[in-house]
Structure 1
């Protein structure tokens, strides 16, 4: 199961990088044609909007798969471990429900309604903008199901450990000088 999650997460990560690279190239082309050639490209603005929407949804699904999404678990961490586990399982069930109903079903309806409307500068229809919603919903539902099974079986903690940033070391207070960090110029 972790192999499936790893492969899907890697796929979404690569897709996010590709979408971002294409978005940067299209945006640079738009700026170049507008500022240098004084003849703005008609298609690049629309394509950059579509790429941005796709990148947002694919990136969100990727982040969800990494369990890097925002989670307010301060109160839940105060409960005993059995209650934490039950709360985490409940949250995953709610996420699966939302992903399937709102994103997959709702996104499908939005895409099917918009499929007959054409974009002005691209030979595509508006449905291509909305079709990413159910796709991202499927990925999020799969990740939530994998997390639900991992949490319920005890293979994964209900809430990931919080990584605390290292405290900066004050040179005057440091007894061990091996902790002193120097900048690029060799200064403290």
Structure 2
């Protein structure tokens, strides 16, 4: 699937950019604290938000690559056709969880924080932007799992 490869490439490049910004941010935090003697006020908060984005988007990427942690004791006890049916059930359950918890629940969280006008203390960015990664990641995981279901194995 060309679309899946394109999304993978965009996602991995975005994760690399976020990680690079986070490393530079933390280096500046250490330098400003120990070398300059005047700690920067925004670096701790920025590192925290970047870590949230890396963790949640990274989970979507790993899910798309089927490299996530899985307990395979039960599936290995069955024959191949039963294993395929079990994987289908697992993928459907993942899709349902991501739809309900991440897309719908995450979208409600983004909406509520946007309506309430909540901003981060140091950076003064809307917290809705920080939380926006939850429904985005949910949509990505749903896309990956749906394409896994539709893929001819």
TM-score tier (shorter): over 0.9
User: Is 2:90 the counterpart of 1:91?
Assistant: yes
Look up the SS of the partner of 2:96 in the other structure.
helix
Q: What is the aligned partner in structure 1 of residue 37 from structure 2? A: 38
After TM superposition, give the deviation of residue 73 of structure 1 in Å. Answer: 1.6
Q: What is the aligned partner in structure 2 of residue 186 from structure 1? A: none
Look up the SS of the partner of 2:93 in the other structure.
helix
Q: What is the aligned partner in structure 1 of residue 69 from structure 2? A: 70
User: Which 4+ stretches in 1 moved above 2 angstroms?
Assistant: none
Q: What is the aligned partner in structure 1 of residue 52 from structure 2? A: 53
Distance 2:7 2:60 in 1: 10
Work out which structure has the larger RCO, using CA pairs closer than 8 Å and 6 or more positions apart in sequence.
Answer: 2
After TM superposition, give the deviation of residue 51 of structure 1 in Å. Answer: 0.6
Cα-Cα RMSD: 1.1
Q: Which has the larger radius of gyration?
A: 1
Q: What is the aligned partner in structure 1 of residue 123 from structure 2? A: 122
- Could you say which structure has the higher helix fraction? 2
Q: What is the aligned partner in structure 2 of residue 166 from structure 1? A: none
After TM superposition, give the deviation of residue 123 of structure 1 in Å. Answer: 2.9
Task: Indicate conservation of the 8 Å contact 1:19/1:51, yes or no.
Answer: yes
Q: May I ask how many residue pairs the two structures share in their alignment?
A: 151
> Normalized against structure 2, the TM-score is what?
0.94
Task: Indicate conservation of the 8 Å contact 1:34/1:41, yes or no.
Answer: yes
Q: What is the aligned partner in structure 1 of residue 6 from structure 2? A: 7
